[in-house]
Every structure is written in C-alpha cells, then in structure tokens.
C-alpha cells in the first residue's frame, strides 16, 4: 500500500508568485506579492533572458495564458463571496531529495 500526502490551499493563501529564470546558467528568482497584482516581468532582471515574448503564436498564447491565470486568481479571491463553493488547489508533497534537486 502506498500512502501519498497532499496539501490543499485556497487561492487567498497564495502570498506571492515566484518566477525563476529559464536560462540554465542563471536561475535567478523573482518574487511578486500576489496582493499587489499580477504583473509578469518581461525579462530576467539578472541576465536579461526573455521571459515573455511574442516571437511565435505559441509564445504569445503562453504569455497571454500566464497573465490571464494570475488575473483570474485575483478575480476569484476578490469575488469568492458570490460563489457557492471554494476552490482548493491540491499540492503533491515533494519527495525527499527531489526538492533539493529543484531548489
Ligand atoms: Zn536570468
């Protein structure tokens, strides 16, 4: 038998969004406080690697989806009293050792 642990959070428990640079030689992290709005940095503040671009329809769609997701989170938190349910995000527990590789 396998026992898996999960944690759940509500959207208003999200305090910040962390962006990590996708440039393998950089890896800089940038934190945006969720309550202040969801502005997504266009470039890495450390190495200048482009985080958002409109070089292709797919890249444009990805940028748009990310911005819409963060805006939708803020809207749900603001308007949740009008919903008859509450959204919980279920998070997978990180396995030992896996977390060290990611961080
Ligand atoms: Zn970078």
Can you give the pLDDT of all 103 residues of the chain as single tens digits? 777 788 999 998 999 999 999 999 999 999 988 876 667 889 999 999 999 888 899 999 999 999 899 988 988 999 999 999 999 999 988 665 454 444 4
Confirm whether 39 is domain-assigned: yes
Number of structural domains, the chain? Answer: 1
Task: Quote the ligand 1 centre to 92 CA distance (angstroms).
Answer: 27
Confirm whether 1 is domain-assigned: no
Task: Quote the ligand 1 centre to 28 CA distance (angstroms).
Answer: 5
Round to whole Å and give the CA distance between 62 and 67: 9
Task: Quote the ligand 1 centre to 64 CA distance (angstroms).
Answer: 21
Q: Which pLDDT score is estimated for 90?
A: 93
Element (H, E) at 61: helix 57-79
Range of the domain at 20: 6-102
Task: Quote the ligand 1 centre to 12 CA distance (angstroms).
Answer: 29
Task: Quote the ligand 1 centre to 30 CA distance (angstroms).
Answer: 10
Task: Quote the ligand 1 centre to 91 CA distance (angstroms).
Answer: 27
Round to whole Å and give the CA distance between 51 and 8: 29
Phi, psi of 98 (to 5 degrees): -65, -40
């Amino acid at each position: 038998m396998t026992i898996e642990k999960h944690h759940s959070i509500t959207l208003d428990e999200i305090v910040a969004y962390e962006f990590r640079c996708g440039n393998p030689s950089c890896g800089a992290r940038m934190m945006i406080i969720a309550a202040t709005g969801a502005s997504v940095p266009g470039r890495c503040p450390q190495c200048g690697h482009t985080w958002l671009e409109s070089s292709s329809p797919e890249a444009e769609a990805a940028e748009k989806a990310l911005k819409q997701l963060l805006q939708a989170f803020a809207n749900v938190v603001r308007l949740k009293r009008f919903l008859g349910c509450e959204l919980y995000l279920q998070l997978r527990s990180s396995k030992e050792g896996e977390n060290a590789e990611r961080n």
